[in-house]
Amino acid sequence: MVFWGLVLGALLVVTTGCLYLLGVLRQRRPQEPPLDKGSIPWLGHAMAFRKNMFEFLKHMWAKHGDVFTVQLGGQYFTFVMDPLSFGPILKDAQRKLDFVKYAEKLVLKVFGYHSGQGDYRMIHSASTKYLMGDGLEDLNKTMLDSLSLVMLGPTGQSLDSSCWHEDGLFHFCYNVLFKAGYLSLFGYTKDQEQDLRQAEELFVQFRKFDRLFPRFVYSLLGPREWREVGRLQRLFHKALSVKRNLEKNGISRWISYMLQYLRERGVAPAMQDKFNFMMLWASQGNTGPTSFWALLFLLKHPEALQAVREEATQVLGEARLKARQSFDFKVSTLHHTPVLDSVMEETLRLGAAPTLLRVVHNDHILKMASGQEYLLRSGDIVALFPYLSVHMDPDIHPEPTTFKYDRFLNPNGSRKVDFYKAGKKIHHYTMPWGSGVSICPGRFLATNEMKLFVLLMVTYFDLELVDPNTPVPPVDPQRWGFGTTQPSHEVRFRYRLRPTS
Ligand code: HEM
């Protein structure tokens, strides 16, 4: 009798434990946000979320209001949708929300990289030194040379200006930006032709990884795809290995500084290779897609293209490429392009859709702008999706789905920074780079390289859509939440170098 009592007791404990793990027993506590566990134990709403995060969150927002907690694959996420209440989450002076913990888990899974204690600070201090201010000026020049090399070939102008070239616009932009960005940051050998070939091959593999990326993060790959991801990871570790760095010169100071830090901390070379892969991903995964949206919007809005071209002529003069020369202009011009700045800001508003995540350290109260208070539970994740809650808010940005090239310009031509929600000035009126502790440290370089590329394209090239009536393609729904979105299909375009003088 005693024996069966013990067995029953043990069974009860195990069953309760399982139910707890499956999330079945979790109940909304007083003051906590509305809780929506979904109908499937443990998975919760994971399938709907992964299928189309944007539509899912729209639905949940309409159902529950500005704050709600949903279960996604055994983890509880509290989404905060009121941008006037973002302040305490992004500033988090009491350090009750942790960005690093979640990021470390993710990079271990995706890049195989074991983060060290000071990594986060090291990346940000390297970026402050070399991706901003004076350090950035050097990199801008390198980037211009790399764009010249990639777009015109090693001997200067190798494109025949008398004929049109046709390509997919997404492929073209991603390809050019990737190769120029990769070579500028990870360096050249003495053989530029060979460097270009290697960069091209790396791009092909990068796109394979990129296509699998969203489903890889969500653990949705089939066995063959898992093997493919493993192969690609090994390929990148080898291609970016620190051993190969010895053959290169001109590795950016950003990368060299970070590798030196890792070396001095005794991090094994194999782990440094994985770090390089992570940096390649962070630096090259968004600039190409963003440049695609920028050029597409310009091609679909001739008045915007005209305004950018006029501004380019003002700052660059009547630029014409001389035979066998590379692009030649002062990168300092990039500081004097308010129209292009507005175009890029508008492009990022429409194209960039990251998710910002923080792990809740201890139970604590989140005070909303309305005065309402919510209890956040330790171990849950607080999530922001500014694309929906900020970029697409018609109160902040009237006609939010429309591209307006001058949305970020004041009538006097200066940069517009005053935006309002419910009559209150709003600090975070776009958030393509994230914000707070996790803000993208490469945002200034990224902006400059994309601006350089767009300037080169509109100044030195004629370009047009193969079918001018082709609509702007919808976003591939798998890409919501992963930085810059990608189109669900290609758009064909043609380009031709303008005749030389
Ligand atoms: C259009 C281009 C880009 C966009 C939209 C973008 C956006 C972002 C976003 C949203 C994050 C994460 C924020 C978060 O987790 O809260 C991030 C992180 C990061 N980005 Fe960028 N990024 C771009 C280009 C670049 C470039 C060119 C570089 C470097 C040269 C770079 C380096 C990084 C790094 C190293 C991180 C991780 C920082 C950390 O661990 O704290 N990004 N970026």
DSSP per residue over 272-321, as a string?
HHHHHHHHHHHHHTTHHHHHHHHHHHHHH-HHHHHHHHHHHHHHH-S--P
Q: Could you tell me if residue 303 is left (phi over 0), alpha (psi between -120 and 50 degrees) or otherwise beta?
A: alpha
Give the position, in ligand 1's atom list, of the atom nearest the Cα of 289.
Answer: 1
CA 295 / ligand 1 centre spacing (Å): 21
Domains of the chain (ranges; CATH) run 2-97+359-384 (no CATH), 119-354+387-497 (1.10.630.10)
Structure-model confidence comparison of residues 63 and 248, the more confident one: 63
Quick check: CB of 435 below 6 Å from ligand 1? Answer: no
Q: What pLDDT score does 160 carry?
A: 66
Instruction: From the CA of 123, give the closest atom in ligand 1.
Output: 35
163 has binding-site annotation: no
Residue 266: C-alpha distances to residues 9, 120, 186, 272 (Å): 51, 17, 21, 10
Query: Which ligand 1 atom sits nearest the alpha carbon of residue 278?
Result: 35
- Mean pLDDT value across residues 490-498: 94
pLDDT at 359 over 70: yes
Contacts of 293 (CB under 8 A, 6+ apart): 347, 350, 351, 484, 485
CA separation for the pair 438, 199 (Å, rounded) = 29
Measured in Å, residue 348 CA sits from the centre of ligand 1 at: 13
Q: Is 355 in the pocket of ligand 1 (CB under 6 A)?
A: no
Q: What is the pLDDT of residue 92?
A: 75
More confident residue, 133 or 35: 35
Mean pLDDT of 349-371: 96
Averaged pLDDT, 414-420 = 98
Q: Average of pLDDT values for 233-242?
A: 96
User: Does the pTM exceed 0.75?
Assistant: yes
The answer on whether 440 is annotated among ligand-binding residues is yes
Q: How confident is the model at residue 20 (pLDDT cuts 50, 70, 90)?
A: low
Query: How large is the average pLDDT for residues 147-165?
Result: 80
Q: 40 φ, ψ to 5°?
A: -100, 125
- Among 255, 253, 287, 290, which residue's Cα sits nearest to residue 137? 253
Query: If you search the block for the tokens 């979105």, which residue do you land on?
Result: 485
Query: Averaged over 168-194, what is the pLDDT?
Result: 96
Decide whether any atom of ligand 1 lies within 6 Å of the 481 Cβ.
no
Tokens standing for 122? Answer: 């090291």
Distance 334 CA to ligand 1 centre (A): 21
* Ligand 1 neighbour 434 (Cβ under 6 A): yes
pLDDT of 453 strictly over 80: yes
Quick one: pLDDT at residue 327? Answer: 77
Q: Give residue 441 CA to ligand 1 midpoint distance, Å.
A: 6
- Is the CB of residue 283 below 6 angstroms from any atom belonging to ligand 1? yes
Residue 165 has pLDDT above 90, yes or no: yes
Determine the distance separating the centroid of ligand 1 and the alpha carbon of 443, expressed in angstroms: 7
**483 Cβ closer than 6 Å to some ligand 1 atom:** yes
Four-point Cα dihedral 300, 304, 308, 310, nearest 10 = 120
The phi and psi torsions of 6 (rounded to 5 degrees) equal -65, -45
Q: What is the distance in A from the centroid of ligand 1 to the CA of 428?
A: 17
Q: Is 446 in the pocket of ligand 1 (CB under 6 A)?
A: yes
386 Cβ closer than 6 Å to some ligand 1 atom: no
| Mean pLDDT along residues 404-416 | 97
Query: DSSP 3-state assignment of 127?
Result: helix
Whether 112 lines ligand 1, by a CB cut-off of 6 Å, is: no
Please tell me if the CB atom of residue 445 comes closer than 6 angstroms to any atom of ligand 1: yes
pLDDT at 477: 97
Give mean pLDDT, residues 348-369.
Answer: 96
pLDDT of residue 22: 53
Rounded CA gap, 57 and 351, in Å? 17
User: Average pLDDT, stretch 237-256?
Assistant: 92
Residue 102 pLDDT exceeds 90: no
% of residues, the chain, pLDDT over 70 = 91
Best of 92, 122, 440, 445 for a ligand 1 pocket test (most atoms within 8 Å of beta carbon): 440
